Each structure stands twice: as C-alpha cells, then as structure tokens.
Structure 1
C-alpha cells in the first residue's frame, strides 16, 4: 500500500544542539512530555527539561553512563518517580534514579541503583518497561545472541534489588559474528488482557504472551518482512477493541498490524496413559456448557483433565508503506496511539494517521537538516 500522489503537508523540525560529541542513538520523552533523555556513542546520558517560558529544551544533567555506545534509553512508568533505564554495547543495562536533593549539576543527581549483566556477555540492543503490575516494576532487554531476559523489582521503593523472572530464547541459535544483526522489543502499553511483548529478531517479529504463571510463550508471528526488523512499536489502545503494532524494516517498509482477540482454545490432556490430547475451541463469551457440554466440540470424559486455557488472537497486516525508499530505522506512536511516526535513511520523519475510510494515510513529512 503506497501513498504516492496523496496530499502531503510538509513541516520542519525545530532542532537544537544536544552537546553530544558523537552520534545520538536514541531520544525518550517522559510520560508528561516535559523531560527528554538522549544517549549517544559518546557514552553520555543527557537530561533536558522543557522551558515553561518559550518551550525550548534546556540541558539539566549530563554524565557518562556507560563504557561504550549507549543504544537505548527509556523512562519508567511515572508512578515510580524519576527513573531511567539505559542499555549499551558494553553489555550492561543500568537503572538510574533522580536524587532531587542534589543540585542539577551534581554528579550524584542521577544515582545508578542497579546494573544488569547477562551471562552471555553480549551487547544489549533494546529495553522496555511494561505497564506497572500490582506493586512491582519489570524490565525486559534483548541481547545480541537473541535472548530476552526479564527482571523484576518487587519493591520499587528499593531499586537496588532485582531478580530474573524469565528468559526467552528468541532464535534457535545466535547469529554469526560476521552477520549484521538487529534486535528490538516493546511491551504492550495497555494493562487489561495480561502482559504481552513484541520482539523483533533479525528478519522476524513475534508476539510473546505471559501465561497464568507469568511465563512468556511465543504466540503470533508478524509476517511479511524481507529484511532486518529495525524497530517495533506497540500503540496504546485507548478504548479500541484491538491492538496496533508497527514495525520498521531494512527493506524500506513501514508496516502496521492489527491484533484482535478472537477465541480461546482449551487444551485437554488425558490422565490415563496412552490417550492423546483432545483439543476443542469455544468463542469468547460462550457458556461453560457450550464449551464442554453436548456441542460435540470437546469430549470431557472422566479420563481427561483440562490442563490449560490459551487465548487466541488474529493478526492482520492493515498497512504497508515504502515511501521512505530506503532503510527505516525507527517507528513510534503518539500518546493516544492514533498517529505513527517513522524515520529512515532519507532523513525525513513521516507521520501516518487513519483517514475517514479507516486506511492509514501519509499525514505529514517533517524535513530534518539532513534532508533539506
């Protein structure tokens, strides 16, 4: 699906000097959009505050956070205070917490509370916080060997204690050292429906879903990628009956997928030895008698036991754009999940929004200094 020939409005970005001495790899706004964090190959983390007078971004804090290129920075959910997580090619993830009693210029203003180092000692490519569960704070990160690790701080008032709660093997084997690699992940930002995670690994994108025991299992695939998946972004639902996930790909395409809850699957395994499992399905909202009774769908003989109940979701690719004409590196949704932005090697930011027909259309092109 292309938007060539569609009406386009051009905009220009207001840019400012960050003070970084090397390539800026990531930018993250806090929940309220009044603070911004940037990270770079110069190994520094910078915090900017938005001026209430003229709207300019003013440098608030700057310090060396890692011993190598910092690949990503994110803010924790706001209910836990001012907390930032970063990951780096130095093979670590770090948690920083603001110490408001310290002056902005103090090296102790942002205190490193915890450091996560995977056993594989691979570079960390991406990190993500899920919506805050009851009482705890979680973080997932993916390393260059294709392994996702999930940590939890069960008492967020003490960020010095984290434990590993899950490890996901995304790829059957790590990519070769000579290969160009790409790994990314993003938690579903909506609380209802349980924890879900989309993971981009090389040229694949997969949804992982937590079961009733809190362990993640591979679920639906987001198909159609013909190159490395550079970025994934899960939109806030905001009352929609479905989820939206966007991907950025090296093949030059921006893709949007719709994830809709369709039905449940009951997996029934026998208690008696020698009987194979019987599978039955019922629609959401159907009564127990329909799912297990005389409908003929499920044989609920005494020799069988219901082991688990799995949710099933339908995935539909609803948009596929190649307007960048080159590698696409980043995708991001706005706070309400209604506008998608993408950026590629053409140095332009494209904004996508649904039209009255329900189709996604190019809404605007923002020119950056490189593209002028």
Structure 2
C-alpha cells in the first residue's frame, strides 16, 4: 500500500510515520509538507526507513506536476494539515480557513483525479478534525467557537465529496480530543491537558493510539465514516496490542534461527513453551482481528462440531495478519489467508498438521477463502483487496498440487466475502464487493457464466445463501413443485440494511424480494441464513450498532419477516449457525463468543459465553 501523509512534520504525523515504517502492509510513504520531513528517531523493530519519501509542496492551493507525479498511484491519504486551535488566535480567521478548509478540499480533489494505475478500490481519505468541531453551526462551543464550526464545515464537505465521487473516494473523519504524548511538553503542557479535560470537558487520547488507529483503518477499511475519541482509543489500543505481539513473534524467530537446537525440544518442555507462547497468541488474535465479513455460515464456529477438538497451528507460515481460516467438508484440510497476499493449505490429521501448499497470485490482502462441496472436487475460492476472485483446484490426490483454474477481475473494489451455494442448487459462488455490487458465478458443464448486479450503494459486506430446500418441504406431506434447488441469498451492506435476492427463471437474473429489512443503525457486518429446513426461516444479522437481529418468516406470514433484537456491549462482527440451525454463535469487538438458542417461548437465551 502507498500511503500519503499530508502535514507530515507534526507530532501526530511523526508517530504515524514511525509506526508505518514498521508495518509490513505499507510499501511506501509519501510525506507531504512545506518543508523536508526527516526519518523519526527511535524506529521500531523491523522498520524500513527506505519506505519514506519526503515531498515538499510550498503551495497547497496549487500542486505542481512534479508533486503530482509523486502522489500518483496512492492507495490512501491521511490529512493532518491544519492550524492548531492555539495558533488560530494569532491569525486572521480568513487565513485559518484557507489552511484548514481550502487546502483540504483542494488536496482531496487533486488526489482523487490523479492516475492510480495498478491500484484497485477507492482512494481512502482520512481527515483529522477535533472532538469539539460541530457540523451543526447552532452548536458552536464557547471556546474557539468560530474555529470549531469551520472545522465542522470541512468534515461535512469531505464526506459529501466522497458521496459525490460515486465510489472513487472513501472518506473517514476522525475527531480526537486532546492528543497526549509521554515525551511531549512539561509542566505547562500538563496544565493545559488538565484544563482541557476538566474545564472544557475535552477527552484525551494517546498519540500512539491515534497513529495505530489511523494505520488500522487505512489498511483494513473504515469501521464507519466518523470515529470519535473513544473509537480511536479502542481501535488504537487493539492495534498496538497486535503490533507488540507481532514484534514478539519476530524476536522469537530470530531466537529460533540463532539456536536451532531449541526446535528439537518437545512442545511440553518449559523452555519451548515460553518460546511458543507469543506465536500462539498472535495466531489467536489475528484470527479474531478481522473486521470485514469473512465467514460462510456452516464451517467456522465451535458450535458446528462440538466433537471436534480445537487445534492451534503454532507456525502459520504467514508473514502478516491472518484474516480467515476454514476447514473443508471433511475437516481434513485447512485453508488460511492473510495480508501477506498468500493462501496456505494445511493437511490435518488427528492432533498434527502439515503445510502442503502456498498459493500466490493476489495483489493485495486476501480477505476470505471458501471450500466448494466435495461433489465438485477439491475446489477453493479466494477473494481480497485487489477486487479479484480466484478459483483453485487440487490437481492430484497424491502430490497435493494446486492450480489456479479461474481468475475473475469482476469488481472495481475490494471483494469482501465469497460464499458457495448449497450443492443442491448447483455449483454457484456469490461474491460481495465494496463497489456495491454482487456477482454470482455458475460452474456448469465445464463452462462458467456470471451475472453482476448492484446491491448496496455504499458497499456489500456480507452474503449468505438460503437452504436449497424450501422451509417446511421436508415435513410437509406434499412438497411444492420446484421446492428443491431454490437459489436465494441475503446480503448486508454499509447502508445498514439487509436485502434478499432470488433467481428469476423468466429473466434469468436475480431480483430483490420485497423491501429491504431495516432496523440496524450502523453497518451490517455479517449475515447468516440458518440451514434449517423446518417450518420457519431464520436470518441473523450482525452490526456495528452493537446488536444482532434475528429475522424469522414462515408460510403463514406471507413472506413478511419478524425481528427480535439481541443487544451487546460492543460492535458485533460475525454470526454463524450450527449445522442443525438451532444454535447461533456471535462474536464481536469485546473478544467474546456467545452461543444463543431459542426457548419454547420463542425468546433467545445465551446458553454459553467464552472470553479469551
């Protein structure tokens, strides 16, 4: 990823550069400022100072061609250029507005129009504002009132521009309070912090958390379009924990390479356990870290197969964060994918596992993998940030040789999830993308057909197929004609709604059934259609609004969906049904997994909660 940092000489930018130089997902950094940007001191482990390029721009209202060439091809920009509240008192408001408003809008327009050859997805633009900057002028604060209102105007314009760009730009506004640093300022700074927090009511956040949160959102995608002080602290704290764990793992690799005899120690040996501990924690945290939807419903939670012992692969072989891990139909092969752009295939046998193949080809982070039903062969689908969907097939049962058999560059932005249909409906693969479209690939008679249609204008985060058999058809004495092989699925998007789609035989296309399912007040991160084929249909949806909604419909409801709401203390990322369709697993930002079941009164109860 190529990252632009505008206003790169401030203390927040310095910390952001320091962390970005150590982050494997950042390939290059353009530090844009009015003067030369130096490499920060005290670089972290694995930092590569060669990734930083200082670009001087003397006039941010007019970008010369030499500067534009350096900025071209960027994936993201963090805009930190502004006049601080204290400095604004000594400057005319018109000059302050020029720096804060005009320069920001001009920069955003210029960046969005630059060539981005070789890049996929929208330009991610983060604007740094402040906690006390209202977008409603009538709520002007009593301290720095005009200044804060003007910053609120910039926020509004940045978000409006992203909407008007129709997918070219994706914008996020961060609103930190007082940004603190352990090595910045003395008694005077601490006094200012105390006044800000107690008198003005301004929250504070550590600069390291702000920088880590900026990196996390730049690389992984925006959690929402506005991040408040508490959001930055939470995201940054989690991101710093992952950084420390990765650093511990890197240290461990050096110890093992320097002392290969340690590898010969049995896993139960105390010294070996101490070496393995950081790596095991990294794998667990990485597996739960992903905030994009990555979960075909019937293969990934402990609720699905209580008789199968959990396993931890001590050495994943990945060089970056793991986003997905899926067992095949028989539980004998495990596929994992990562931000290192690779897919790993492991062979599982009892308590042991063996890496048998590394699949390469994606040009960005790989978000998800999904196994097809074995009746179609050992086939794996993968999708990622590069907007591509790959289909891989094992060519021989003896040599474990995998080959990429199909390559689908169908989308203009990140493909967030792929899901295979129930095998009774055919060999179908649904793909959901941040470009707002869903594509469905059909493999039949050694040929491939596909259809693509708009689903959610702000991006599609999740997709889940309905059972191929209509509800109640198994218990009914007279199943309706055509009840087997139904092609229906549900999608969830950044527009906060769910939509149900069904294949129309007459037009040979997918049509939306009825109106969208509404009720969520934030992005829908995951949807899961229960595999049950009894009288009722169940759909679970997880949202950043800290709720899970369980939607039910039966033949007597005339296609209407009723809803029950489960409330949580944090954003919810994933939902997954057990194979029988009667137990729902829920996981979220609180690092908990809870299991839910419907009682005889039709109420949903938590029957188990697990926290790491």
- 2:350 matched to 1:72? no
Q: 1:359 maps to which residue?
A: 603
- Cα distance between partner residues in 1 of 2:453 and 2:555: 23
- SS of the residue 1:313 aligns to: coil
**One of 111, 115, 119 as aligned partner of 2:403:** 111
* Residues 138, 29 of structure 1: alpha-carbon distance in 2 compared, 3 angstrom cutoff: same
Q: 2:572 maps to which residue?
A: 328
Please show how residues 216-235 of structure 1 align to structure 2 within 5 Å. 216-220=510-514, 221-235=516-530
- 2:418 matched to 1:131? no
* Residues 121, 184 of structure 1: alpha-carbon distance in 2 compared, 3 angstrom cutoff: same
- Structure number with the higher helix fraction is 2
- Cα distance between partner residues in 2 of 1:209 and 1:228: 23
* Residues 13, 131 of structure 1: alpha-carbon distance in 2 compared, 3 angstrom cutoff: closer
Structure 2 contact 465–489 (Cα < 8 Å) conserved: yes
Q: 2:436 maps to which residue?
A: 146
**Deviation of the 1:223 alpha carbon:** 2.0
Q: 2:562 maps to which residue?
A: 316
- SS of the residue 2:393 aligns to: strand
Q: 2:317 maps to which residue?
A: 19
Q: 1:44 maps to which residue?
A: 342
* Residues 242, 367 of structure 1: alpha-carbon distance in 2 compared, 3 angstrom cutoff: same
Q: 1:185 maps to which residue?
A: 463
Please show how residues 331-342 of structure 1 align to structure 2 within 5 Å. 331-342=575-586
- 2:526 matched to 1:205? no
Q: Could you give the per-residue CA deviations for residues 99-126 of structure 1, whole angstroms, max 9, x where no partner exists?
A: 224534xxxx1111101111x5222111
* Residues 241, 65 of structure 1: alpha-carbon distance in 2 compared, 3 angstrom cutoff: farther
Q: Could you give the per-residue CA deviations for residues 73-108 of structure 1, whole angstroms, max 9, x where no partner exists?
A: 11112211211101111110011111224534xxxx
- SS of the residue 2:561 aligns to: strand
* Residues 133, 354 of structure 1: alpha-carbon distance in 2 compared, 3 angstrom cutoff: closer
Q: Could you give the per-residue CA deviations for residues 139-165 of structure 1, whole angstroms, max 9, x where no partner exists?
A: 12122121111121112xx4xx3122x
- Cα distance between partner residues in 1 of 2:593 and 2:505: 40
- Structure number with the higher strand fraction is 1
- SS of the residue 1:79 aligns to: helix
**One of 326, 346, 350 as aligned partner of 2:590:** 346
- SS of the residue 1:162 aligns to: strand
- SS of the residue 2:559 aligns to: strand
Structure 2 contact 438–460 (Cα < 8 Å) conserved: no
Aligned length: 287
Q: Which moved more, 1:66-75 or 1:208-217?
A: 208-217
Structure 1 contact 94–116 (Cα < 8 Å) conserved: yes
**Deviation of the 1:133 alpha carbon:** 4.8
- Cα distance between partner residues in 2 of 1:260 and 1:204: 21
Q: 1:87 maps to which residue?
A: 383
Structure 1 contact 147–168 (Cα < 8 Å) conserved: yes
**One of 164, 170, 180 as aligned partner of 2:455:** 170
Q: 2:30 maps to which residue?
A: none
**Deviation of the 1:13 alpha carbon:** 6.8
Please show how residues 205-284 of structure 1 align to structure 2 within 5 Å. 205-213=498-506, 214-220=508-514, 221-237=516-532, 239-262=533-556
Q: Could you give the per-residue CA deviations for residues 56-86 of structure 1, whole angstroms, max 9, x where no partner exists?
A: 5543433324121111111112211211101
For the pair shown, the structure with the greater C-alpha radius of gyration is 2
- Cα distance between partner residues in 1 of 2:469 and 2:596: 25
Q: Which moved more, 1:22-31 or 1:92-101?
A: 22-31
Q: 1:304 maps to which residue?
A: none
Unaligned runs of 5+ in 2: 1-305, 471-482
- Cα distance between partner residues in 1 of 2:571 and 2:460: 13
Query: Runs in 1 of length 4+ with deviation above 6 angstroms?
Result: none
**Deviation of the 1:355 alpha carbon:** 2.7
**Deviation of the 1:322 alpha carbon:** 2.0
- Cα distance between partner residues in 2 of 1:330 and 1:363: 17
Structure 2 contact 412–435 (Cα < 8 Å) conserved: no
* Residues 345, 152 of structure 1: alpha-carbon distance in 2 compared, 3 angstrom cutoff: same
Structure 1 contact 182–228 (Cα < 8 Å) conserved: no
- Cα distance between partner residues in 2 of 1:33 and 1:259: 32
- Cα distance between partner residues in 1 of 2:460 and 2:320: 21
- SS of the residue 1:314 aligns to: coil
- Cα distance between partner residues in 1 of 2:469 and 2:377: 19
With normalisation by structure 2, the TM-score equals 0.44
Q: 1:99 maps to which residue?
A: 395
- Cα distance between partner residues in 1 of 2:363 and 2:435: 20
Structure 1 contact 131–191 (Cα < 8 Å) conserved: no
- Cα distance between partner residues in 2 of 1:236 and 1:129: 13
